[in-house]
Amino acid sequence: MVAPNFHHTPEAPHGTAEGSAAGREPSSCASFQPYHQGQLDVFCAVYAVANALRSVHPLGMGQARRLFNDVLLDLSRDADAFRSVLYNATDHDALVRAVLECARRDVVPLRVERPFAASPALRVTGRVGADASAAGRGGRGPDGAAQPTPRAVWETLVGWLCGGTGRAAVLRFHRYLPFKGDPVISHWTAAGIPLGDTLFLHDSSREANAIHVIERGGFVTAPEHLSDDRLVLVEPRCLYLIDVSV
């Protein structure tokens, strides 16, 4: 529930002493927006896998909580790894794998494919300018290896989702603003329903910079291809294809 704006607070009764609590001007804290649950943590990778599984398997609240708790308890046994997750000093790829392994063990048999696992990691901070010579081709990672093209990623993802029942996917994207070097959000999410050239996401993020759809022509797979009309970067190596119909 959102706290009432202090402008809508009834005025103090006439004659109230100026120095009393009732007659005092409301402080700026009176109009604050409460943090919504989950806003203070960086566990989007766990939610992404849970939502992906829930889209194709009857994952109840109790089962999802056990999955969430078990993964974090396992992670906490490695203090350095746990600290990296808490302080967002990692890409959370290992956390996604841990959630999937826990789900395979305790929730439902599943098969996982990573079609672009061999793609190099991307430098997603310090945005670089567009490289006209690379237009239409995949960009290159820090080791010089080529990235898959957006078309290859889109066709692989949509082809998987439309290829049978029991299929889901998890991916990581970065959203940029024009003329900004670093992403305003880096986020794991669950791919939802493809409809034409739009991919709807199973995501309930409430942040102002959240996105809930990805357009076929609206994303890139390498930072040098970012432009004012394509400000979403999808990491090919962080695409996980999930099948619970095994």
CA pair distance 160, 199, nearest whole angstrom: 13
Average pLDDT over residues 97-114: 97
The C-alpha angle 107, 113, 117, rounded to 5 degrees, equals 130
- Residue 28: pLDDT band by 50, 70, 90 thresholds? low
Using the predicted structure, report yes or no on whether residue 103 has a pLDDT greater than 50. yes
pLDDT at residue 20 greater than cutoff 80 = no
Of the ranges 12-21, 32-41, 172-181, which is most confident? 172-181
* Percent of the chain residues topping a pLDDT of 90: 67
Closest-CA residue to 186 (of 159, 223, 216): 223
Q: Both tokens of residue 32? A: 């604050």
Q: Say how far apart CA 67 and CA 84 lie, in whole Å.
A: 20
Which of the two residues, 108 and 17, has the higher pLDDT score?
A: 108
pLDDT of 125 reads: 78
Q: Is the pLDDT of residue 97 over 90?
A: yes
The confidence score (pLDDT) of residue 132 equals 33
pLDDT of residue 145: 66
Looking at every residue in the chain, the average pLDDT score rounds to: 84
Directed axis angle between helix 61-76 and helix 44-54, to 10°? 150
pLDDT in tens, 44-92: 999 999 999 999 999 999 999 999 999 999 999 999 999 999 999 999 9
Look up the pTM and report it: 0.81
- 8-state DSSP, 223: G
State the first-to-last Cα distance of the chain, in angstroms, to the nearest integer: 42
Q: Where are the domains of the chain?
A: 44-243
How far is residue 17's CA from residue 12's CA, in Å, rounded to a whole number?
9
CA distance to 64, 71, 73, per residue, from 46 (Å): 10, 8, 13
